[in-house]
């Protein structure tokens, strides 16, 4: 029998100030400073996640229809690996860094301390409701901060499980969860933080940044984008079709890194469409809708948003196009468009639809990609020509790139993950998360005897060539 997940109570907006003040007071006692304390929190978190695996999987199923294997790999397994990685490296990371300086400054022993920032707010999005809270949280704990997390209100079951894991594992004096909608978020953003780590859409990111500006609070913004996939003449088109179909069907396309549109060389377009159809048949032999391995759209509002975007396209649906509102089901849908101004690619779709644009050359592609969306989160190229890959990389921008595949640069763990321009700023994941949540303080210690060498700095300036 599936485990029972009760309804989660909303945090009272009026309580927010007291919650933040309590954490700040506790943080100032220095409890979180010793690395041993942080390790204990991380170990306890590791085991609490393991103990609650079944509950997490059930919550993700209830909230967003996530298939078990997808949920385990991308939400649980990834987080457990990340905790392990940070535990293995925390002593070295917290020990700071020696600076590389010129010989004459070596006696000053320049180094970088990595102190905690203080009290941080982490706000997550609904598509990976567990991972997007716990991945930054691990970095924040490892670096010694106190933390308030707010899960997306669109995924209440996962919010409940998050709250339970906090209660099972973490010191309530320094780490807490809050739950609620826009009024709660607004009140949270009105507080003074030492960092706001926000994952979500770029409209709300602007609200976050404006609120943060009042206190000059730094922000990390993990946003989305219109992610291109290029399939050149030299590509293995069957492989491209299979991998693109995987990237588009995973989490029912609700991935910030999901392919938004394909720019395909004309010689391959028929084979690409056929390859997508064949792959769907292979992945879901009894049909996509009947398969337990295909998710659902998170809620009715997003179902209608995505449906409207597909219907607004002037292109031709070549794969999919089925909708079932009663289940918030949208089949993987590929639309052949003829115009780069098509409404389907005017903004991020964040669902299981993808446009296909056909081109006859390679040269025009980087310009086309820049014109459609200059700063996507992910960019993908399927090509067996190293010069094409080099030209594509040099002439486009994105948060990350995967070559001959999609999405994977966001899944390998210890590489910096984040966006550029419209897709956000700041980088985290694995060991990179430690620095995001650290105050990197430059320290030098000047011995008295060094004035013999550094005397030139003192007035009157009569000792050097520039003394006049």
Applying CB under 6 A, among 116, 139, 144, 200 the residue interacting with ligand NAD is: 200
Which segment (125-133, 235-243, 278-286, 355-363) binds ligand NAD by CB under 6 A? 125-133
Residue 82 bears catalytic tag: no
Report cis status (omega within 30 of 0) of the bond before 169. Answer: no
Which segment (45-53, 147-155, 339-347, 381-389) binds ligand NAD by CB under 6 A? 147-155
Q: Residues 256, 354, 388, 422: which is the catalytic one? A: 256
DSSP character string of 345-356: GTS---SSEEEE
Q: Which DSSP letter does residue 386 get?
A: H
Residue 199 in contact with ligand NAD, rule: CB under 6 A = yes
Shortest separation between residue 390's beta carbon and ligand NAD, angstroms: 26
Applying CB under 6 A, among 112, 207, 393, 403 the residue interacting with ligand NAD is: 207
According to DSSP, the β-strands at 353-359 and 261-265 are parallel
Nearer to ligand NAD, 52 or 423 (CB): 423
Residue 154 in contact with ligand NAD, rule: CB under 6 A = yes
Nearer to ligand NAD, 228 or 424 (CB): 424
| Beta carbons of 68 and 76 less than 8 angstroms apart | no
CA torsion angle 390 392 398 399 (round to 10): -30
Shortest separation between residue 432's beta carbon and ligand NAD, angstroms: 13
358-367 contacts at long range (C-beta below 8 A, 24 or more positions apart) = 358/264, 358/265, 358/266, 358/269, 359/263, 359/264, 359/265, 359/266, 360/265, 360/266, 362/232, 362/233, 362/265, 362/388, 362/391, 365/230, 365/232, 365/263, 365/392, 366/391, 366/392, 366/395, 366/396, 367/395
Nearer to ligand NAD, 124 or 247 (CB): 124
Nearer to ligand NAD, 284 or 350 (CB): 350
Shortest separation between residue 35's beta carbon and ligand NAD, angstroms: 28
Q: Which DSSP letter does residue 4 get?
A: P
Nearer to ligand NAD, 97 or 153 (CB): 153
Q: Residues 187, 222, 348, 388: which is the catalytic one? A: 222
Q: Which DSSP letter does residue 130 get?
A: T
Residue 204 in contact with ligand NAD, rule: CB under 6 A = yes
Q: How far apart are CA 291 and CA 353, in angstroms?
A: 18
| Beta carbons of 130 and 81 less than 8 angstroms apart | no
Backbone phi and psi for residue 191, each to the nearest 5 degrees, phi listed first: -80, 165
Q: How far is CA 38 from the centre of its chain?
A: 23
Site for ligand NAD in 361-380 (CB under 6 A): 377
SS3 of residue 317 by DSSP: strand
Residue 256 bears catalytic tag: yes
Q: How far apart are CA 333 and CA 452, in angstroms?
A: 74
Nearer to ligand NAD, 203 or 462 (CB): 203
Residue 224 in contact with ligand NAD, rule: CB under 6 A = yes
Which segment (22-30, 199-207, 272-280, 304-312) binds ligand NAD by CB under 6 A? 199-207
Applying CB under 6 A, among 125, 165, 174, 306 the residue interacting with ligand NAD is: 125
SS3 of residue 48 by DSSP: helix
Shortest separation between residue 410's beta carbon and ligand NAD, angstroms: 7
Nearer to ligand NAD, 58 or 222 (CB): 222
Residue 75 in contact with ligand NAD, rule: CB under 6 A = no
Nearer to ligand NAD, 333 or 423 (CB): 423
Query: Closest residue to ligand NAD, Cβ-based?
Result: 224
Backbone phi and psi for residue 171, each to the nearest 5 degrees, phi listed first: -65, 115
Site for ligand NAD in 164-193 (CB under 6 A): 182, 185-186
Give the interface with ligand NAD as residue ranges (CB under 6 A).
123-128, 132, 150, 152-154, 182, 185-186, 199-201, 204, 207, 222-224, 256, 348, 350, 377, 419, 424
Active site (catalytic) residues? 222, 256
């Amino acid at each position: 029998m599936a485990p029972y997940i009760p309804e989660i109570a909303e945090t009272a907006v009026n309580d927010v100030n007291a919650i933040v003040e309590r954490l700040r007071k506790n943080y100032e006692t220095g409890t979180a400073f010793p690395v041993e304390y942080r390790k204990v929190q991380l170990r306890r978190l590791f085991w609490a996640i393991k103990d609650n695996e079944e509950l997490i999987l059930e919550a993700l199923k209830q909230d967003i229809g996530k298939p078990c294997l997808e949920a385990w790999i991308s939400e649980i397994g990834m987080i457990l690996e990340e905790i392990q990685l940070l535990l293995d490296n925390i002593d070295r990371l917290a020990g700071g860094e020696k600076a590389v300086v010129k010989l004459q400054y070596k006696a000053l022993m320049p180094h970088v301390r990595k102190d905690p920032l203080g009290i941080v707010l982490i706000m997550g999005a609904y598509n990976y409701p567990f991972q997007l809270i716990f991945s930054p949280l691990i970095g924040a704990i490892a670096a010694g901060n106190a933390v308030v997390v707010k899960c997306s209100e669109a995924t209440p079951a996962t919010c409940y499980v998050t709250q339970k894991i906090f209660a099972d594992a973490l010191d309530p004096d320094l780490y807490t969860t809050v739950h609620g909608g826009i009024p709660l978020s607004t009140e949270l953003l009105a507080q003074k933080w030492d960092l706001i780590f926000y994952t979500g859409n770029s409209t709300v990111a602007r609200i976050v940044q404006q609120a943060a500006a009042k206190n000059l609070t730094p922000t990390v913004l993990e946003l989305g984008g219109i992610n291109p996939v290029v399939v050149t003449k030299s590509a293995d088109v069957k492989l491209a079709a299979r991998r693109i179909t995987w990237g588009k069907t995973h989490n029912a396309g609700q991935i910030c890194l999901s392919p938004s549109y394909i720019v395909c060389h004309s010689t391959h377009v028929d084979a690409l469409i056929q390859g997508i159809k064949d792959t769907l048949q292979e992945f879901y032999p009894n049909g996509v809708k009947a398969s337990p391995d295909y998710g659902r759209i998170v809620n009715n509002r997003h179902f209608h948003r995505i449906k409207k975007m597909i219907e607004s396209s002037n292109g031709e649906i070549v794969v999919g196009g089925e909708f079932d509102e009663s289940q918030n089901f949208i089949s993987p849908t590929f639309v052949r468009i003829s115009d780069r101004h098509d409404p389907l690619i005017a903004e991020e779709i964040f669902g299981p639809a993808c446009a296909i644009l056909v081109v006859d050359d390679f040269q025009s592609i980087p310009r086309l990609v820049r014109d459609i969306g200059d700063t996507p989160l992910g960019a993908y190229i399927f090509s067996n020509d190293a010069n094409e890959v080099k030209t594509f990389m040099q002439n486009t921008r994105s948060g990350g790139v995967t070559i001959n595949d999609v999405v994977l640069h966001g899944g390998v763990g210890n590489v910096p993950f984040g966006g550029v321009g419209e897709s956000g700023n700041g980088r985290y994941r694995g060991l990179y998360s430690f620095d995001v949540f650290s105050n990197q303080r430059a320290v030098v210690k000047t011995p008295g005897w060094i004035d013999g060498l550094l005397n030139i700095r003192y007035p009157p300036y009569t000792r050097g060539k520039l003394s006049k």
